Structure 1
Amino acid sequence: MTGGRRTPSAGATAFNRRFSLTLVTAAVLNPVNSSIVATALVPIGESLGTPVGRVAVLVTGLYIASAVAQPAMGRFAQWFGPRRVFLAGAVVVAVGGAVGALAQDLTTLTVARVLIGIGTSAGFPSGMLMIRRRADESGEHPGRVLGTLVATSQVTVLLGLPLGGLLVSAAGWRATFWINIPLAVALLVMAYFWLPSDDRPARRGGVRRLAGELDLLGIALFGTGLTLLVGFLVSLPQAHWVLLCAALVAGGLLVGWELRAATPLVDLRDLLANRALLTTYLRTAGGMLMAYTVMYGLTQWLQGSRGLSATVAGLLIVPMSAAGALVSGPVARRGLVKVPLVVSAVLGVGMAVALLLLSGSTPIVVVVAVTTVVGVAVGLATVGNQAAVFAQADREDTGVAAGLMRTSGYVGAIASGSIIAVAFREGSSDTGLHIIAEVLIPVMVVVLLLTVFERHLPRRLPVSGRAAAEPPGSLGPAGPTGREPGGRSVH
């Protein structure tokens, strides 16, 4: 017992409702905030006297912050304890909400969105690390709680749109920031009382040593490279090649540093040795590329080609999210991994081909059917890849591995915006939609190949136990490099 609170006894349910509800609440904050501001961009621009094109930085700012923070929070959870990072993330969300609600300029609003992106990124990697530890200690199968995380995250991405519209209509655009404060306070209370206490963190020396162990330089280089890459992608179709070159330089510096660092944020040697985990990240990026391209590309096409309003077009995409959520739970509870990923990839290829057949004369019911099947594919892929990370990552590196999975998803989401911008540069026409399909077909074929021919992809999620969950190529808890998760030599 630590911190005056008891952890579950041997006979208690490890993944009880309170534990699961707390993790789910934290997991949904990030996807909700990624979409809730969409309906507020125009009012914000009008209020600040800023063009909507510039206000869009509030969307990309949160994406970049989240993509960088997800693996970083996994590292922090590993060193300081997942519950402490969980609580700290909730505090940062509340601060970000207050800063945004009181902001008087775009710069301050951007800072607020970055803070919210960082704070909301603490929940998923910390939660995955707690789930992993509880599964190993209790022997209980984590499929139910993993499936719940997937289902709720998928539903809340789209719920952010109507919620944002309701808040803006009822209380103005500042309400999209204020709403984070009560949510963060509720999460703080839930986490304090319902999550297991952490062990006392070991004293590891001064600030300089701590910065090295947390790999703050690696985090900074990762953030710089990703920001420059996103800057290049959002500039398309008028490419700013200087940004791409700078991103490649930052990437090269990151690789050089990570190969030399004693405790790298991303152990590149281990990652390259664990090909199965690397493949999972590639599948995740490809799956999210398709999901976001269809979600936002089809809504624009429906408005431009069919003359539908933004509200109606958005409602026609809702079945996509609902279908994904419905299939996630049953698959996760059964602990299935490879079969749902194969089915998802096959459906993805089929739906990419189907986009080539859509036109302005296609019945709306067919369009809805296509998006619904895409939702099924995305749901199966998300639950399968999440389970794969759980099985393939080293026990104590689960937080970082889960964060990198989310990061790969954000890369796919960001890339989708660039594809849509290039395809619809002359308007959201049938031709543009077919260009999107021509890009998605080879991407989904690659995803299918990476799934079918991945020999180390388990059929089912291991029930529990460290040995059952060792990643392919690992030589035990220390991994193939002979180091513990923090980078300390065990020789």
Structure 2
Amino acid sequence: MRRFLRRLRHGRTDPPEGFDRRLLVPMVLGSILNPVNSSMLAVALIPIGRAFDAPPAQTAWLVTGLYLATAVGQPVAGRLVDAFGPRRLYLAGTALVGCAGLLGVLAPDLWILVASRVLLGFGTSAAYPASMSLLRAEADRTGTKNPSGVLAALTLANQIVTVAGPTLGGLLIGAGGWYLVFAVNVPLAAACLVLGALRLPAGGAAAARTRTDVLGMALFAGSLTMLMTFLMAPAAQRWYLAAAGAAAGAAFVHRQLAVAHPFIDLRVLGGKLPLLATYARQFLAYTVTYTFLYGYGQWLQDGRGIDTASAGLIQLPMALAAIAITVPTGRNPRVRGKLVAGSLVQLAGCAALLLLGPDSPVWLLLVLAAVFGVPHGLSGLANQNALYAQADPERIGASAGLLRTATYFGALLSAAATAAFFQDGATTAGMHGLAWPMTGAALLLLAASLADRSLRGVGRDG
């Protein structure tokens, strides 16, 4: 028995012939850390703003801080997973999540709270590429060409957590205040550490060492930070931020094409047009999703006058609709129909946002949340299946990290949009204004899904 426990602790028990189901729980639990922290905040922004006497334009930095960190952290984590194996990165990342949760609970002001969100962003960047790497290794071991059932389980968990986050956040805030939205990371991280140490296999690295393009990372982070600082409060006198961000971005692209070991290998992406299209669709889909999550959650409290716990419950149909659509479609690896249907439903939801008012009936609020749950369930699942089919097997960790980066670019744009339209608070006029850029993104998603002929072959032989 002692020998067995020692082998289990170091991940050296003999795996079963089929997919090792022991890996599924830590994979799912680790991969949901980012979406749960993203979506719980949707109903916490108003209480946090009241606690620190900060307007929505400032509390939006709680969103931006996390996604700036994850936009940088995901490619880094993906490369490190490919180089050192998933187990080490999984454990290090989840430990950082627990530390970030403690810092958030103890934060004396808004900007320390923003710092805790930055730490959360870096900490939550490791588990998803680690999970995708483990999935690829299991597929190779078992000879499963397209493990769509396991992909569906991962996607379903992430979809549910993302859209159920506002409800969970509302209940936590109602039970003990906004501090609990940060404190919940401590037990979640502890569970990930225990399960990861016991169940994840050691090793799996493609190489013992990897070179880090520190200058490339700095240019990438600097470009994003300056552009987001401008977009969060755009003004003519702040033109230099946009110019500097664009210049840093151009320098980043030049360096990535010139160095032997770039931070993001743009030369590889340049030869993968279908994969680039998948990243673009992910960006567009989640721009709409996160703009709705953050905008709707704040409007329900300020514009409609609903308390935080009830605002979270009103968004519960979004989670239920996502489950209802993902469960029957999850094992089907075909993607094109899902993307087209999802973008059409998104367009219908954006049009319905224009019907909102201070006296909108509760049934309409519930139906609207359910409408946005359908495309959330379809688009995320379709893009993940497309990524799995299109990415190089030996670069699956980095490719998965970049898919999450595309997601976070969408969230960054949504944070800038809510900051711009909610400058005077989360008013009904601001919510109507948000509906127009959301409509534009949904139209682009529909056009991209219809125009991409490569999607016709994805999933046919899975």
By how many angstroms is 1:95 displaced?
2.8
Counterparts of 1:301 and 1:94, CA distance in 2: 30
For residues 332-374 of structure 1, give each alpha carbon's deviation from its aligned partner in whole angstroms, at most 9, with x where no partner exists.
Answer: 2122222211211222233333434555676543443333122
What CA deviation, in whole Å up to 9, does each residue of 1:417-473 have, x standing for no partner?
A: 333344445665655444333323332222112111212125543777xxxxxxxxx
Percent identity, please: 39
Letter in 1 for 2:142: S
Q: Distance in 2 between matches of 1:185 and 1:259?
A: 40
CA deviation profile, 1:314-342 (whole Å, cap 9, x unmatched): 33222112211332233221222222112
Query: For the structure 1 residues 224 and 420, does the alpha-carbon distance in structure 2 shift closer, same or farther, using more than 3 Å as the test?
Result: same
Aligned to 1:83: 87
Residues 14-43 of structure 1: per-residue CA shift (max 9 Å, x gap): 141x21111110011112222445666677
List aligned pairs for 1:274-353, cutoff 5 A: 274-303=272-301, 306-353=304-351
Q: What is aligned with 2:251?
A: 253
Alpha-carbon distance between aligned partners in 1 of 2:306 and 2:11, rounded to the nearest angstrom: 55
**8 Å Cα contact 1:360-1:430 kept in structure 2:** yes
Does residue 124 of structure 1 match 2:121? no
Output the amino acid matched with 2:159. Q
Quick check: which one's helix share is greater?
2
What is residue 355 of structure 1 aligned with on the other side? 353
Which deviates more from structure 2 when the two are superposed, residues 261-270 or residues 347-356? Answer: 347-356
- Out of 438-447 and 385-394, give the one that drifted further: 438-447
Write the distance in 2 (CA, Å) between the matches of 1:415 and 1:335: 29
Does the aligned pair in 1 maintain the 2:49–2:59 contact within 8 Å?
Answer: yes
Inter-partner Cα distance in structure 1 for 2:377 and 2:240: 37
1:8–1:52 CA distance, 2 compared to 1 (3 A)? farther
Kindly report which structure 2 residues correspond to 1:39-188, keeping only aligned pairs within 5 A, or say none.
51=54, 54=58, 56-104=60-108, 108-140=112-144, 141-167=146-172, 174-188=179-193
- One-letter amino acid matched to 1:195: L
Superposition map of 1:380-399 within 5 A = 380-399=378-397
Count the aligned residue pairs: 454
TM superposition shift of 1:217: 2.4
Pairing of 1:188-199 with structure 2 (within 5 A): 188-199=193-204
Secondary structure of the equivalent of 1:372? helix
Cα 1:362–1:227 change in 2 (3 A) is same
In the other structure, the counterpart of 2:3 is: none
Single out whichever of 161-170 and 121-130 deviates more from structure 2: 161-170
Distance in 2 (alpha carbons) for counterparts of 1:367 and 1:379: 19
- Structure 2 counterpart of 1:12, from 10, 17, 29: 17
Q: Give, in whole Å, the separation in 1 of the partners of 2:182 and 2:355.
A: 41
Give me the CA root mean square deviation: 3.1
Q: 1:248 to 1:327 in 2, by over 3 A?
A: same
Q: Report the equivalent of 1:486.
A: none
- Give a deviation string over 1:25-70, Cα, whole Å, max 9, x none: 00111122224456666776787x6646655533321121112111
1:72-116 Cα shifts (integer Å, max 9, x gaps)? 100110111111111111222233234444555555444333222
**Aligned in 2, Cα 1:305/1:112: closer, same or farther, shift over 3 Å?**
closer
Whether the aligned pair in 1 keeps the contact of 2:63 and 2:415 (CA below 8 Å) is no
Per the alignment, residue 420 of structure 1 pairs with: 418
The answer to whether the 8 A contact 1:388-1:458 is kept is no
AA matched with 2:198: F
How far has the Cα of 1:156 moved from its partner?
2.1
Secondary structure (helix, strand or coil) at the match of 1:333 reads coil
Letter in structure 2 aligned against 1:22: P
CA distance in 1, matches of 2:53, 2:355: 40
Which deviates further from its counterpart, 158-167 or 221-230?
158-167
Shift of 1:305: 5.4
Q: Would the aligned equivalents of 1:76 and 1:214 in 2 still touch at CA under 8 Å?
A: no
Q: CA deviation at 1:6?
A: 3.1
Q: Give the residue type in structure 1 aligned to 2:90.
A: F
After superposition, the Cα gap between the structure-2 partners of 1:463 and 1:2, relative to the gap in structure 1 and judged at 3 Å, is farther
Alignment of 1:15-26 (within 5 A): 15-16=20-21, 18-26=22-30
In 2: Cα distance, 1:254 partner to 1:7 partner: 44
Most deviating of 373-382 and 172-181: 172-181
Structure 1 spans left out of the alignment, 5+ residues: 205-209, 465-491
Q: Which runs of 5+ in 2 are unaligned?
A: 1-6
Q: Deviations over 1:199-227 (max 9, x none)?
A: 466454xxxxx4xx232322222111111
The answer to whether the Cα contact below 8 Å between 1:39 and 1:165 also exists between their aligned partners in 2 is yes
What is the CA–CA distance in structure 2 between the aligned matches of 1:59 and 1:380, rounded to whole Å? Answer: 24
Contact 1:67 1:410 in 2 (8 A): yes
Structure 1 residues 99, 226: closer, same or farther in 2, change over 3 A?
same
